[in-house]
Amino acid sequence: MDLDGVAFNEIPVTALRTILGKVQNNFRGRAYRAYILNAGWVIRGSWYIFSSMLDTTSAQKVVLLGSDYKDVLVGLVEPEKLEERFGGT
């Protein structure tokens, strides 16, 4: 499927549901959690649409963080193991 030059309102929703269904069935246990840092409103809006097509378990594995991501990262990873640009020491 080639999506080059396709407008957002022309994205084939049926094809995306099929792809997402196959991905979540085949790779369900591969990732514990994914963090998306400094997510803007476009990413958040897109995630809201796509997450509704996923089962609850898969959708909960993705965490969108805004500009306050450094406080959350420091709570997840020891500060000395994080780069300074991510709030580490």
Average pLDDT over residues 72-83: 85
pLDDT at 69: 83
What pLDDT shows up at residue 40?
80
Matching residue, tokens 């990413």? 43
pTM over 0.85: no
Q: Is the CB of residue 38 less than 8 Å from the CB of residue 70?
A: no
Burial-class residue 10 by CB neighbours within 10 Å (0-12, 13-18, 19+).
exposed
Give pLDDT tens digits for 4-45: 454 555 556 676 677 667 776 766 667 677 788 888 888 788
CA-based end-to-end distance of the chain:
44
Where exactly are the structural domains of the chain?
A: 31-89
